[in-house]
A and B are shown apart, each in its own frame.
Chain A
Amino acid sequence: MSYYFTIINTRDAPLFELEFGTSKAGGDGAARFSPEARAMNPFIVHSSLDIVDELRWGKDAMYLKRIDQFSSSHISTFLTPTSIRFMLLHLPHPPNLAPAFIPSPGSYPPFTPYTSNPLSSSTSSASSSSTFKSSTSGAGSIANNPASPQTEEAIRLFFWDVFEVWIKATMNPFQSMEKVLGSPVFKQRVLGAGRKYL
């Protein structure tokens, strides 16, 4: 799982951006976005702000959970009381870990730089046939499943940790709420939270 975490102010400008990878299950904590995906990430997160705008008035909780999906990358959001948005983009199959896309002659490049999951058979009403069960087992591992409650809970803990650090950072009298957060300590703390939970 690769993560792209960003804090976005009320005027849609990012205050803080960070990429990291999973540290669970033997991960080395390095993000494995392809260059194309890396260039796309800010656009994807920006477009999900639309969904945040939709949801923010309907929910009490600060943690909005998984709100959006673009191809195989998912976006979770945490909303602070001052309408600062923590956005976490998580991509379950980093391109170099997923089964490689082997371009057969005459095939077309995929539309998005993100690898897409195999079509899930959970949508089909009668998936009793045994031949299709094997195809779904690849995405079975819970740590890699962005929709699972475990992932949701881990991201919630991560967000609360970051929120705490963020409050401390913005209480600095020399730091404005609407200005880019350049503090290396803050970055270290966020990375630590990521290592701890994600």
Chain B
Amino acid sequence: MTSPLSPEYESPREPRPTLSRQHSSGSLPVDDTTLSPKSPRADAFLSASTPDIAQSPLTPLPQRLKSSEIPGKGSYQRSSSVGTRSSSPAPFAGNFDEPRQIILGSFAPRVSVYASVDTEEFVQGKGFNEGFRELLRPYGERIPGKVVARDSVGASKTWEDFGIRIVGPDDGQPYRTPSAEIGRSVNGRTSGPRDSTSSAGNSSSPFEKLMDHHLRTEEIGARSQHNGHIDSYSNAQRSPRTSSTVYPLYLRKFLSSMLMVPYETFCHPVACIIAVSSRNPSPIETLRQLYNQSGRRIPAFVGPEYLRYYVLIHDEEQDDITKSTALFDLMKRHFGLHCHLLRLRSSHCVQSDDDSIEVPPSYWLTAEDDLSQISIIDYDPDNPSSHYIFDSDASAIRSFLREMVTQSIVPFMENRIMTWNDQVASRRRGLSGRFISLSKRFTAFGSSRSSSSPSSSSSSPSTNTNYDPHLGIYPSSTPEATMRTLADYAFMLRDFRLAYTTYDVLRTDFAHDKAWAYHASANEMSALSYLLIPPTSPSARPSRPTEAVTQMLDTATYSYLTRCSLPFGAIRTLTLALELLLHHHHSPRNNNTPSSTQAAHHGAKLLELNILTPLSQAFLTERIIHCYDQSPPFSKHHKQHKRQTALWTLLSASTWLRIDKPTQARRQLAEARRLYAELSSTSTSTSTSTSTSTAQQLPAESMFPFWTELERKLGPAAGPSMENEEGGEEEGGGQGLALLEPGLGSMIQTQVETERLNEVSVPPLSPRTVEARGDPLGLGAELRSGDGRGDGFE
């Protein structure tokens, strides 16, 4: 688009569409602040965008975008996440799968799409059945090139991996199936639909199904590696401790199931795209209708004050460009600067076409959508598993999204942050704000003391607090809701310092109002944003000990779980805390406890809460192993927490076994055997045992029953007819490891053989052990109970 960089952009006029006047009347007085043309921010954006993008959009697109396409391409594509897809292995881009990157990516601004009927028809003609948002979605997840955002102190930061999430207008709204299904209902106190998903059996929820699919794919990957096909999937960077490669996917799918809830605004739309095509007979009228829709189709607790972005899609093949240009000029006059003319070809592109390129897969689909895609692929292998579009279309979409993000969405959010920070937050933070909150507290205290009956006490707080205890929300226009939005915007633009201070203020306010869901969320986010504050500037870090973080996390977990019955929130809190602490090497040491150990403690806490499905337990156990594995070495030759690592590896083996995943269980058991053997070779070298059996290498004789039971379940439990197959599979796993780590692989290989020996000659057990051997894992009962999980193990 010509506009934003042309002189028009510098007009001091508020870039709001004229149409929005009717809606902005009852809202916060923030509209009159504009993007000042003289602000250095505008310059920053001018320099950030490449000069070729600044050209007129009316010139042919392909040449223009070659340059901006390149930086995105290599790092965006990833080794195929769906193993059955036959897409060529793309170069694995360093940190794309880093948990920290996933976490940052998951809190991306949501942009909802309102497209007119003719637009949807146009896009469906190109082969995208879900319409315009399906076409945009994969490109929005990763905006090519750098995106510059300014923080509250005016320092600009550049992000290479910025993205937005393109959603449909109704996506993520709570009346869809709640995807907290990995959280189990606690004490049965959950809402109806969630109960139904959990009672339907854990194997049937989309999330579990999807993970199951990928775990199987991982097994196939390991096996095909054995056959000599080293595909990129298994070649991905595995941690030396052979943790599951599915984990990044698990984390991503878990985080992509966030819902639109009142107490946090991450899933509320930051902007919406209102699209109309050149085929429309009355485009301006349609845009007007869509605009009205965009105010009505959101839940009441979502503030209607978000950015509207208007797009005209021009059909390159059938429509006249001069007409479209004229219409576009009209649009700009009506709606202001947030407009774009997107030129697309209308014909359906197939792979054999000249300049066809594959549409990249989108990584942030919800589990349900992802699963339906996979099932389509599995059902019909001839079906083209991926879409193709023309190269020119792809570059047009990329440049459109980049322009929208860098010139409209990010400035809009910065503008909001600045305004709210000035008008709401600083007033609250200042001296008078303290007085206000103090006096509020006093009056509330007095009223609660004077009124003994619960009915009057529930009505009296409404006079001095903005919280609506019946609906459980703060209306979107209250200072509390505004500050929450401010903090979330700051978090999404990665100004974690501002986010932290704002959440910190909100925590106490919400606790005082007994808005527990808000309270939990504010505690969670303040802990997370504290952990995300970059360590480069030690002076900028608020001087709070990490004990405070632990306490915030505990409070968040308790509020989520006990007060609000929101297991999803509790799981997210502790999972993300684990990931962030794990990579938080700069934390001031607290009682000599390294942060990775703290991470492991949070993980263990989450396991104890007993809200995870067995599958999530298995993944989390692997992460805890990773945590202990990361702890700094005790001395040069002595690794800290080696015994803990060994314990959790063993637990992980038994967890995988519990959910009927023998491949993963075998891998972990082999690892545990190696660890315990290492431990005993360094410490119990004088052991009198002369047997070479690996079980004998355990430090204590009383450990045998657990171990042998595990081995029995994994190994020879299958009948003699199954034995060959089982053995072959085992060997496959061993070989796969051998390719990854030659030394370790051969070690495991020999151990696999010793395991076979064990199968033949069970080590002598003391009478006590035999007695205890009945069923130490409690697996037999589970298998026999026939709940569908244990099939194949009898």
Which A residues are within 8 Å of any B CB, using their own CB?
6, 10-14, 17, 34-36, 38-44, 46-50, 53-54, 58, 70-72, 104-113, 116, 119, 121, 123-126, 129, 132, 135, 178
Contact = CB atoms under 8 A, between A and B. Distances in A.
B659 to A, nearest CB: 10
Contacts of B782: 109
A153 B415 CA distance: 61
Nearest to B610: A110
B213 interface: no
B617 A111 contact: yes
Main secondary structure of the interface of B (DSSP, over half): helix
Given A110-B610, A112-B607, 15 more contacts: A13-B687, A14-B699, A35-B776, A43-B647, A43-B703, A46-B646, A46-B700, A46-B703, A50-B643, A106-B200, A111-B617, A119-B558, A124-B554, A126-B514, A135-B562
B632 to A, nearest CB: 12
B778 interface: yes
A123 B641 contact: no
B372 interface: no
Given A119-B558, A123-B558, A125-B511, A111 B607 contact: yes
Nearest to B628: A50
Contact of A50 (B592, B609, B642): B642
Contacts of B382: none
A170 to B, nearest CB: 17
A39 B709 contact: yes
B777 A36 contact: yes
Contact of A119 (B184, B561, B706, B778): B561
A35 B772 contact: yes
B655 to A, nearest CB: 7
Contact of A111 (B612, B702, B775): B612
A14 B184 CA distance: 39
* Residue of B201, B609, B644, B650 ringed by the most chain A CB atoms within 10 A: B644
12 contacts: A14-B700, A39-B705, A42-B699, A42-B703, A43-B650, A46-B643, A105-B199, A106-B199, A107-B184, A107-B185, A110-B610, A112-B608
B610 A111 contact: yes
Interface string B751-786: 000000000000000000000101111100010000
A17, A43, A107 interface centre (most CB from chain B within 10 Å): A43
A39 B702 CA distance: 8
A39 B655 CA distance: 15
A6 B228 CA distance: 50
A110 B610 CA distance: 6
B383 interface: no
Given A12-B679, A13-B700, A47 B610 contact: no
B477 interface: no
Interface string B682-696: 011111000000000
Given A106-B201, A111-B607, A46 B647 contact: yes
Contacts of B684: 11-13
B408 interface: no
A124 B558 contact: yes
Give the top 4 A-B pairs by smallest Cβ distance, nearest first.
A39-B776, A106-B199, A123-B554, A47-B647
Nearest to A40: B706
Interface centre among A54, A72, A112, A119 (most CB of B within 10 A): A119
B634 interface: yes
A124 B555 contact: yes
B604 interface: yes
A49 B700 CA distance: 13
Contact of B558 (A48, A70, A110, A121): A121
A17 B782 CA distance: 30
Contact of B686 (A11, A38, A50): A11
B612 A108 contact: yes
A39 B774 CA distance: 10
B202 to A, nearest CB: 7
A54 B592 contact: yes
B81 interface: no
Contacts of B655: 111
B699 A125 contact: no
A120 B658 CA distance: 29
A6 B703 CA distance: 13
Interface of B: 184-185, 188, 198-202, 511-512, 514, 551, 554-555, 557-559, 561-563, 592, 604, 607-610, 612-614, 617, 634, 640-644, 646-647, 650, 655, 658, 679-680, 683-687, 699-703, 705-706, 709, 772, 774-778, 782
Contacts of A48: 643
Contacts of B643: 12, 46-50
Nearest to A72: B608
Contacts of A111: 607-608, 610, 612, 617, 655
Contacts of B634: 53-54
Given A12-B699, A47-B643, A109 B558 contact: no
Nearest to B609: A119
A108 B683 contact: no
B616 to A, nearest CB: 9
A12 B607 contact: no
Given A11-B683, A43-B706, A125-B511, A108 B613 contact: yes
B647 A125 contact: no
A129 B604 contact: no
Nearest to B607: A111
Contact of B198 (A14, A70, A106): A106
B778 A36 contact: yes
B661 to A, nearest CB: 15
B184 A39 contact: no
A178 B684 CA distance: 11
Contacts of B608: 71-72, 111-112, 116
Contacts of B562: 119, 121, 132, 135
Contact of B640 (A35, A41, A54, A108): A54
Nearest to A117: B608
A34 B201 CA distance: 27
Contacts of B702: 14, 17, 41-42
A51 to B, nearest CB: 8
B198 A38 contact: no
B339 to A, nearest CB: 48
B559 A129 contact: no
Contact of B610 (A50, A106, A116): A116
Contact of A44 (B554, B647, B658, B775): B647
A30 B776 CA distance: 19
A72 B604 CA distance: 11
B414 to A, nearest CB: 33
Contacts of B561: 119
Contacts of A42: 699-700, 702-703, 706
A36 B607 CA distance: 17
B500 to A, nearest CB: 17
A14 B768 CA distance: 15
A132 B563 CA distance: 9
Contacts of A12: 643, 679-680, 683-684, 699
A17 B686 CA distance: 20
A13 B610 contact: no
Contact of A38 (B604, B685, B772): B772
A109 B607 contact: no
Q: Which of A12, A14, A135 has the most CB of B within 10 A?
A: A12
A147 B778 CA distance: 29
Contacts of A10: 683
A133 B620 CA distance: 31
B209 to A, nearest CB: 16
A10 B777 CA distance: 30
A129 B685 contact: no
A19 to B, nearest CB: 10
Contacts of B563: 132
Nearest to B554: A123
A168 B720 CA distance: 54
Contacts of B775: 35
Given A107-B184, A121-B562, A50 B703 contact: no
Contacts of B614: 108-109
